[in-house]
Amino acid sequence: MFKYQSISIYGLMIILAGISLLIKSGTNIEVHATLVSVFILLSVIVAGWVALKTTANKVQSRYHTLHAIGLLFYAILLFFYKNSISKFSDITALFFIFYGFSEILFCFWLFNLQAKIKVSQLIIRLSMGLVFFLSSLLMIGLRHPYQLMELISAGIIFIIIGIQVILTAPIVTRLNAI
C-alpha cells in the first residue's frame, strides 16, 4: 500500500479541479464552478480524513485541518456564487490568497518549531506560498477582456497546488516535532 495514499488522493482531486477548468473552456461558468466545487469537496473529505487519521502528529494534523477548512469554505462559496466568471474569479482569488497565506504561515511555523527540516525545503514552501498568494493578483488582473485566461490561469494554479500537496506529503508526514 502506498504510504501517502490519502494525501495523494486529496492532491489529485485538486489537480482534477484544475484540469476541469482547462478542458471545459467553452462551457458555461456554472458547469465549471460545479465541477470545481465537486472536486474540491472530495478533497475536503480526504483532507479531513487525513487530519483525523494523523492526530498523533499534531503538525501534520493541523496542516491538513487548516487546508480542509479553507477548501470547504471555498467549495461552499463557489457552489452558491457560480453565476458569473467575475464572481468565480473573485472567490478563487480569495482562496488563492488564503492558500498562499496558509503555506507561508506553515513555513514560519516549521521554522519556529526548529524541526529537522532542510532550509531548502522551507524556502521551497515559502516560495510556493508566495506564488499562490501572487497568483490571486494574476486572477484579479486578468479581468473582463481576458475571461477565458482567468479560467485557464486558475486551472493551472490548481494543478500546481495539487502537485505541491502530493510532493510535500513526505515532508509533512515526517514532522512529529509537536
Query: What is the block-wise mean pLDDT of the chain (178 residues), using blocks of 10 residues?
Result: 70 92 75 89 89 76 85 90 81 89 81 69 82 80 70 88 82 52
Task: Collect contacts of 167-170 with beta carbons under 8 A, ≥24 apart.
Answer: 168/125, 169/4, 169/7, 169/8, 169/11, 170/3, 170/4
| Whole-angstrom distance, CA of residue 130 vs CA of residue 126 | 6
Quote the Cα angle for 16-13-86, to 5°.
60
Show Cβ contacts of residue 38 under 8 Å, excluding neighbours closer than 6 positions. none
Rama region for 114: left / alpha / beta (φ>0; ψ in -120 to 50; rest): left
Q: What is the pLDDT of residue 177?
A: 42
Q: What is the pLDDT of residue 115?
A: 59
Q: What is the pLDDT of residue 134?
A: 84
